[in-house]
Amino acid sequence: MSKKRKSRGRAKGGKGHSDYVHCSRCGSLVPRDKAKKLTSRVSLVEPTLAKELRSAGAYIASPITIKYYCISCAVHYGLVNVRAKSERRLR
């Protein structure tokens, strides 16, 4: 049977089993190596106020949020694009 993708849709390699995470949008269980990981910083202070505080020498913490998406949600929200058949194996 031919392979559609070089990685078989995962980043597992030869590791065997991988643990599961919940999708941030739909809540479905997805293998961690197959899910799309999105990290972002969340600012707790308004930008104008943060600029004034930084000029005064204050340190403003911005926590990092990590979200995992299943493939269907990642495609729907535009995080991953559907590639043409000839481009699928290319990295």
| Local confidence pLDDT in tens for the 91 residues of the chain | 888 888 888 999 888 999 999 999 999 999 999 999 999 999 999 999 999 999 999 999 999 999 999 999 999 999 999 989 888 877 6
Question: In a 3-state reduction of DSSP, which class is residue 15?
Answer: coil
Q: Which CATH superfamily is domain 20-80 in?
A: Ribosomal protein S26 (3.30.1740.20)
Residue 30 to residues 4, 9, 55, 58, 76, Cα–Cα distance (Å): 19, 12, 44, 41, 16
- The answer to pTM > 0.85 is no
